[in-house]
Structure 1
């Protein structure tokens, strides 16, 4: 007998289907909309926010790259950006994620900092585009300035600064900027096409550097002067030899079958790192050349300081590009 007004429950009728029907409908409807973003939003919170708070980012590679690329058009993410909706949704998001915000930081502040990464990425890309454009203009302007100053053809020595500035300031800079995602002049080409342009520009730079080195050696032989007597000459020789070795190492990337035991990813990393070192050696040689008697006797005052800034600016841009494309990415990978 059962009391009046009560219902008897048959144990055989208690099935998993009934269990699913007895779950809260509100949580189930919200879960259908947000469960697809559970893991990816967790990656965003752990990578972007923990880095902002000085912690250690964990597992944030997938969504953080999409946020930096501006690909955050999911309606759930857009809804969480609104203040009122975010306050109501934060507890549910963290309950889905099964995690807690950092100590003494509110969940809303943590989520807001994570979603602000997309806005900051637009500013970051704009700055990288502006710096790349400045590197193009500085490399070309410095090469033209040295050529006008040296007047190639007026003497045998006049070809040395012209060819060296053309090699290390213009051609090498353009060869490296080919792979810049923001400031490359050949972004319409495929990766393979840009690699071929990079190879051609680097080969031209090496030929110009070898020709400029040979002409200055011949010039000193005619005058009876000693070779490699200055820091500029030693740095220039090392830079030219390094450029030759770098071009030789690039053959392994053009034909990976020649080095079957080396992974292609490691070859690219080593080639990029070695190329950055060679470019910095060439820039150091240019800086030392501006301290020579020939340059200081012709260029003085504020113009000299502006000329010194040119290799410094291009070096900083190239360092930022290579470190972001290869070195930093390899460092954050587990």
Structure 2
């Protein structure tokens, strides 16, 4: 059976604020635990008023404190933005607070604009150090060794599982070389999904963490009681993607009746290209779409994004997804 997990954008809605977004994330995770989802991840984004997960480790602590068994983690931390030792200290602390439940997905993209990169003291050259930074981070989580080694207290010995994230074949190659699980961001960058998975599986080298390849892929799923309702709910995400191309990122917008009145033909083409890996509809359409996605990709785990404006409708979307995916 393919595992099902959640990537939550911690979206701040119009008429709301970051506190509501954070509490809604925690509430969703608590429900997801009961519906059988394996893990709940949040991602590092900066200088985006519509996303409340910039302090990713803090958000993970908030969510994990409101749940009991579901794995909680980063999908991901943009490692070039940080010193590996600092990330090891943060996630080592989380591992002690929530034993056996913390994941650490790592990306090499900045996750922000150039002005914010400078504010983070980040250099584009940091991306070139990504493989070595991953190895350094891995060493901080390893069991203690005799001698005057540098320690990232309290990370030593926690062996927090690392994932390599990617939206191109680069991450697939690195994950395979290091023998780590791999998560592909096909929920917004679907073009290289199949080639990346092929490279990862063919090039994988067993490691202490993983003896065989383990692949996850992201997909957008908007579910409701019927297809028409789901299509209307999906306009929230479609407007968000159109706004990206307008340079007008902002708060999450309520759904509208006709998305064609919102975007231009060019914006539609651009947005739908990024949203190519999406399933929108009622229970039957969702089950068929998920089954086709798993059959085509052969992934071990599916990570779902369901960007729905209203919290109650979003909970229902994830509940329907879990029911539709049962037995896949």
Could you say whether these structures have the same fold, taking a TM-score greater than 0.5 normalized by the shorter chain as the test?
A: no
TM bucket, shorter chain: under 0.3
Q: Which has the greater radius of gyration? A: 1
- Greater helix content: 1
The alignment's TM-score, normalised by the length of structure 2, stands at 0.27
Which of the pair is proportionally richer in strand? 2
Instruction: Considering Cα pairs closer than 8 Å and 6+ residues apart, tell me whether 1 or 2 has the greater RCO.
Output: 2
TM-score (norm 1): 0.26
